[in-house]
Amino acid sequence: MRIALPTNDGASVSPHFGRSAGFLVFDIEEGQIQKREMIRNPSCHSHEEGACDHGSNESESSHSHAGILSALTGCNVVICAGMGWRAAEALKSAGVSEVVVTAPGLAEETVTAFLAGTLAASNQAFCRCSH
Per-residue pLDDT of the chain (131 residues; tens, 9 = 90+): 999 999 999 999 998 888 899 999 999 999 999 999 999 988 765 544 433 333 333 333 445 678 888 889 999 999 999 888 888 899 999 999 999 999 899 999 999 999 999 998 876 656 655 44
pLDDT of 50: 37
pLDDT of 54: 37
pLDDT of 64: 65
**Stated pTM of the model:** 0.80
- The answer to whether the beta carbons of residues 62 and 45 sit under 8 Å apart is no
pLDDT of 22: 94
Helices within 6-72 (DSSP H only): 66-71
- The answer to whether the beta carbons of residues 27 and 100 sit under 8 Å apart is no
Q: Domain residues of the chain, as ranges?
A: 2-42+65-116
Superfamily per CATH, domain 2-42+65-116: Dinitrogenase iron-molybdenum cofactor biosynthesis domain (3.30.420.130)
Give the C-alpha separation, 60 to 29, whole Å: 36
